[in-house]
Amino acid sequence: MTITLSRLWRQNRFLLLFMVLMFAFRSAIADWNDVPTGSMQPTIVAGDRIFVNKMAYDLRLPFTHHALLKLADPQRGDIVVFDSEQAGKRLVKRVIGLPGDTLSMHNNVLMINGQTIRYHGLPESDTDYSEDLLGIEHRIRINPQRFNPMASFAETTVPEGAYLMLGDSRDNSADSRVIGFVPRDEIVGRALSVVLSFNYDNYYIPRADRFFAPL
């Protein structure tokens, strides 16, 4: 057995070393993630593969969540990837509330630190709106004709070391309204762009117009 393992190592050491380095790179520096649902529409659609900068906030020990060095903190409006213990899976959502923020929502209208967030409809869709997160504009999707029991929540304050996350598709997202505040140490990295995209509903045909689209 020892001879066999030794021979296997000699014959494949460069391939094995390459694989270890590649997985370490993907674990701690950068990776891409599949998005199987539409909870971040219209920004991210099901079938997108998004580029994730895993050094956006922390330098981590590969294959762990242990931070060796803090580089930055998530900011309001960032799209982040996190391993949710509550949900039991990796999720992609937008940072809405920072530690210490006080927020509430009434009929899909957010109030952050006493300021009512501004919205305006977009001409190309009767369900897409622009949301101004105190100077950071992005698109969200809301169907005003559809009853959504999560369209409102009472005033709440984000605790230290945690964030309030929402999906851009407000009627179709299991976010902080379901899983609660997201601890900072669950955050894996920041999503920056779409790498590839495939249409799950049409034989996985590539969506060329979404390749390398910024988020």
- Catalytic center residues: 39, 93
Residue 195 has pLDDT above 80, yes or no: yes
Task: Tell me the C-alpha distance between 47 and 62, whole Å.
Answer: 27
Residue 125 has pLDDT above 70, yes or no: yes
Q: Kind and range of the H or E element at 125? A: strand 125-132
Residue 191 corresponds to which tokens in the numbers above?
């999503």
Query: pLDDT by residue (tens digit) across 21-79?
Result: 787 778 888 898 999 999 999 999 999 999 999 999 999 999 888 899 999 999 999 99
Q: What is the DSSP string of 183-198?
A: EGGGEEEEEEEEEEEE
Whether omega for the bond prior to residue 144 falls within 30 degrees of 0, making it cis, is no
Helix runs in 66-154, H state only: none
| C-alpha 79: how far from chain center | 5
User: What does CATH list as the number for 2-104+154-210?
Assistant: 2.10.109.10
Residue 189 has pLDDT above 90, yes or no: yes
DSSP state of 148: -
Can you give the residue ranges of every domain in the chain?
2-104+154-210
pLDDT band at 3 (very low <50, low <70, confident <90, very high): low
pLDDT band at 12 (very low <50, low <70, confident <90, very high): confident
